Amino acid sequence: MKIGKYEFDSLEQANSKIEALGDNIHTIVRLGNIVLEQGEYDEEGNEVVAPTLSDKYSVDVLWQGIESHPYGWATKSINIESEGVHGFAGVSYQENKM
């Protein structure tokens, strides 16, 4: 198993790459535009300052049976120094990154 973290320009671009995989055994998690900076809220839960979202659409993939990115995925791959905002239960990104 290998884990890849990816940033696409849009949801549509991410979906196009995912659909191009055809039938697959990989686990794909669409994270969307992740929060870069938390918003602020008052005591009643009303938004005071909106959160800052990434302009990129994020996707995490737990790849099965491959050792390198499928065609067209490497250019969207990111490398982070932590486990990130999402993880696959019991599988370390740092120990299994693509």
DSSP assignment letter at 51: P
Would you state the pLDDT for residue 24? 79
Q: Does the model's pTM come out above 0.85?
A: yes
**Over pLDDT 70: what percentage of the chain?**
100
Could you read off the pLDDT of 31-66 as tens digits, one per residue? 999 999 999 999 999 999 999 999 999 999 999 999
Q: What is the distance, to the nearest Å, from the Cα of residue 57 to the centroid of all Cα atoms in its chain? A: 7
Helix residue ranges per DSSP H, 5-83: 11-20
E strand intervals along the chain: 2-8, 27-32, 35-37, 40-41, 47-49, 52-53, 57-63, 77-78
